[in-house]
Amino acid sequence: MRFDLADLRLFLSVTESSSITQGANNVHVAPPSASERIRNMEHEIGTALLFRESRGVRPTPAGIALAHHARTILKQNEVMRGELSEYANGLRGRIRLLSNTAGLSEFLPDLLSDYLRTYQNIDLEIEERPSHEIIQAISRGAGDAGIVADIFPTGQLKSFPFVVDQLVLVVPAGHAFSELTGVEFSQALTQGFVGLMRDSALMDHLESHAARLSKSIRWRVRLGTLDAVCRLVEQGIGVAVVPERAAVRAKLNGNLVCIKLLDTWARRRLMICVRELDGLPKHARQLVDHILSKSEN
């Protein structure tokens, strides 16, 4: 069998996204080309690697075995690149980092800038996911490191705290809640909400807590960024739950009121988690060390 690293990377991306189209897009391959490459892999092995279903794809037993070995091979390739980077200036490495919404939007941009300037030959692949999905992905080797909230158990993963993230309710000045210093999420659910798009980890998190209360969120509109969400709240379109840092930033330029969410899950410590520090490629270990060196705890 002769599979190159690009084939293995494509197959992992497809199985992790349960979609040939999405998996292909994630690794910058045209979907028709991805389908053909996977069929060629199946022909090479002599058996199907994917169950193709109306709502996507999932790996067959052979596909599960291939995915396991692909992760091992790709991980070892990154370890090799990290070690050789000391000797070869032009050798490039890649780190796959998974993050929840707060980590991605409020903390990582500043944390990563110094690292990327220092390590010009390292590229980062960052994907936003809910914390519980990140923990599962890192556990099975589908990423180098993850940024998650500490309200989710990380099992056998090694995890390290680096920053506190408080969720707040933002309302326009003059709103019925604007004089409150704190509010329960159940009370906030009486209002119409402005939120992020459906693929946002934070919105999934809020909807899961609404469901636990046997309630639902009435979304008035969903936008692409936290800054855009705050601008519409300021204009009286609805209320929103956002990380406190985003609210403070928007409040400097707008007419917003920030109200602390009193629910215990609304105050989270963000953790960076890995399977094993010693098993990381050198450049991934350097990234983890860099993030922890900027810890606010």
Taking Cα atoms as reference points, which of 291, 297, 292 lies closest to residue 110?
291
pLDDT digits (tens, 9 = 90+) for 177-223: 999 999 999 999 999 999 999 888 899 999 999 999 999 999 999 99
Render pLDDT for 24-82 as a digit per residue (tens, 0 to 9): 988 889 999 999 999 999 998 899 999 999 889 999 999 999 998 888 888 788 777 76
Residue 275 CA: distances (Å) to CA of 104, 240, 241, 285:
20, 34, 31, 11
Mean per-residue pLDDT for 87-114?
Answer: 83
Nearest to 97 by CA among 116, 84, 69: 116
For residues 156 and 276, is the Cβ–Cβ distance under 8 A?
no
What the chain holds in terms of domains, given with CATH numbers, is 1-88 (1.10.10.10), 165-267 (3.40.190.10)
**Over 70: is that where the pLDDT of 87 sits?**
no
Q: Can you read off the two tokens belonging to residue 26? A: 């994630």
Nearest-angstrom CA–CA distance, 290 and 175: 42
Asked if 61 and 45 count as a contact pair (C-beta separation under 8 A), the reply is: no
What are 128-159's pLDDT values in tens digits? 999 999 999 898 888 899 999 998 889 899 99
Q: Give ∠ CA 166-95-112 in degrees, rounded to 5.
A: 45
The structure tokens listed for 209 are: 């807590």
| Gyration radius (Cα) of the chain, Å | 21
Dist. CA 212–CA 207, nearest whole Å: 9
